[in-house]
Amino acid sequence: MKNNQIDTFIENCQYLGLKKLPAQYESIIDKANKSNVGFLDFIAGVIQDEANARRERSIKYRLKMSKLPQPYNMLQDYDFPFQPKLKKKLIMDLATMDFVRRNESVLFVGKCGTGKSHLARSLAMIACEKGYKVYYTTCADMLNDLNTGVYEKTLMKRIRKYVNPELLLIDEMGHDRFYPNKNKIQTFL
């Protein structure tokens, strides 16, 4: 391609929101020249690569906006044999995200250290991967945030942060306490 053609090509890619193609067009052309694929297969492959790249960027963006703590918890890493009373089938049904589509709530109840947070965060990650808007918070952080909103007269704006996501994950509800200043937490034995 001539320089003017390359500039126009890159501008058109940017206009269309294509990110991968302008950065890798030379290697893509070389690959096409070396292969015996037809024009339709070639174009379909280029479009598929762009679609995959866009999906990946979208998932990364949703994960970032979700505020899920890292490292991310994966469902396949959960030790189901450690909790024999837990019905794995129920968790796998939740992983379909049908409960989100039906606007249903899920509450994990159990003793500390049983993996409730791991499961909830894993499901939230799956929701991000499936295209849902997710937001993670702890109960204490949410209460502190809303309390601050009362004093700063920004409560409605802050409430929207919690009602807009399709999946809101409120973690550590059972053992968090509301501490106005986390640096002055005292432990009582």
Higher pLDDT, 104 or 181: 104
Structure-token match 């991967």, residue found? 129
Q: Which domains does the chain have, with CATH numbers?
A: 3-66 (no CATH), 75-184 (3.40.50.300)
Express each pLDDT in 139-168 by its tens digit: 999 999 999 999 999 999 999 999 999 999
* CA–CA distance, 156 with 88 (Å, rounded to integer): 39
Residue with tokens 């890159």: 10
Q: Please name the amino acid found at residue 166.
A: E
Report the pLDDT averaged over residues 79-86. 86
Contacts of residue 65, Cβ cutoff 8 Å, sequence gap at least 6: 133, 134, 135
In the numeric block, which tokens belong to residue 61?
């963006």
Comparing 81-95, 116-130, 162-176, the range with the smallest average pLDDT is 162-176
Q: Which of 84, 120, 117 is nearest to 105 (CA)?
A: 120
Query: Structure tokens of 89?
Result: 């089938």
> What percentage of the chain reaches a pLDDT higher than 90?
48
- The confidence score (pLDDT) of residue 69 equals 93
Please state the pTM of the whole predicted model: 0.75
Across the chain, mean pLDDT equals 86
- Tell me the mean pLDDT in the region 19-34: 81
**What's residue 175's pLDDT?**
55
Sorting pLDDT into bands at 50, 70 and 90, what band is 178? very low
How far are the Cα atoms of 28, 33, 110, 142 from residue 173, in angstroms, in the given order? 51, 59, 11, 10
